[in-house]
Amino acid sequence: MALAFVRRHVVVSTLAIAAVLGAVAVPVVAYVIVPALVRTTLVEDLPERSADASDSIGAETLRQGELVRINAVDYGSGRVRLVRIGVDLVLRFEDVDIAGAPDMYVYLSDRTDGQPGTFVDLGKLKATNGSFNYPVSASVDISTVRSVVVWCRQFSVTVTYALLT
C-alpha cells in the first residue's frame, strides 16, 4: 500500500525525501563543516627573557622544522621552533598557515610519521594563521621529542606536523 502511494505521488515522495535529507544536512553543515572552515589569525612576539634570569643567554633555537602538507584537506606551512629563552622553553609557530578543522590540539611527539605516539599535550591550537607561542614545561625531556603534531581530536587525524631537527 505504501509503495503504491509512492508510485502515484512521485513528486510528493521526492519532496518528502528531500526535506528529510535537508533536515539532516543542515545541522551537519552548521556544526561540523562550517567550524572546520573558520580561520583565525594570531600574531604574538617571541617572549623575552625573564628579568630575574641570572644568565645572559637570549633566545636560542634548539630544534626546528617545517609544517607539511599531508593532502588537500590536511595541511600546514610555516616553521616551528623549540626555543630556550633564559631558563624557559617555548614552542614557537612562525608565519603558519594551517588547515581549518574542529578541536585541534598541539602535541610534542616522539614519532616521525606525523602520529601522536607518546606525546606532551600543549593545548588547543591558538590560531590557524600567524605566529604564536606555547610554553613547554621544564619537566619535558626534549631529547625524546621528534616532531610537533597538530591533531584533530574530533576526527582522530593529523592536520599537519613538523619533524624537528
Where is mean pLDDT largest: 5-9, 13-17, 45-49, 127-131? 127-131
Instruction: Reduce the DSSP state of residue 3 to 3 states and report it.
Output: helix
Banded pLDDT at 53 (limits 50, 70, 90): low
Give the residue among 47, 146, 153, 41 at the shortest CA–CA distance from 98.
41
Q: For the sheet with 147-152, list strands across it.
A: 119-124, 104-109, 147-152, 157-163
pLDDT of residue 117: 95
CA separation for the pair 127, 101 (Å, rounded): 11
**What is the CATH classification number for the domain harbouring 126?**
2.60.40
Same domain, 80 and 131: yes
Same domain, 32 and 51: no
- Alpha carbon distance 105, 89 (integer Å): 19
Percent of the chain with pLDDT over 90: 66
Quick one: 117 and 141 in the same domain? yes
Least confident stretch, 9-18, 125-134, 150-159: 9-18
**92 and 151 fall within a common domain:** yes
User: Could you give the CA distance from residue 84 to residue 82 in angstroms, rounded to a whole number?
Assistant: 7
* Per-residue pLDDT at 136: 98
Res 5 pLDDT > 80: no
Asked if 64 and 82 sit in the same domain, the reply is: yes
Asked whether the beta carbons of 109 and 119 are under 8 A apart, the reply is yes
- Rounded mean pLDDT, 90-113: 96
Does the pLDDT value for residue 96 go beyond 70? yes
Q: Residue 21 is part of which domain span?
A: 2-37
Q: Is residue 27 domain-shared with residue 59, that is, in the same domain?
A: no
Q: Kindly report the average pLDDT of the chain as a whole number.
A: 87
Return the pLDDT at 18. Answer: 75
Q: Which residues make beta-bridge pairs with 129?
A: 41, 97
Per-residue pLDDT, averaged over 50-66, amounts to 77
pLDDT attached to residue 120 = 98
> What does the alpha-carbon distance between residue 60 and residue 108 come to, in Å, rounded to a whole number?
18
Q: What's the pLDDT at 48?
A: 83
Are 11 and 55 members of one domain? no
Count of domains in the chain?
Answer: 2
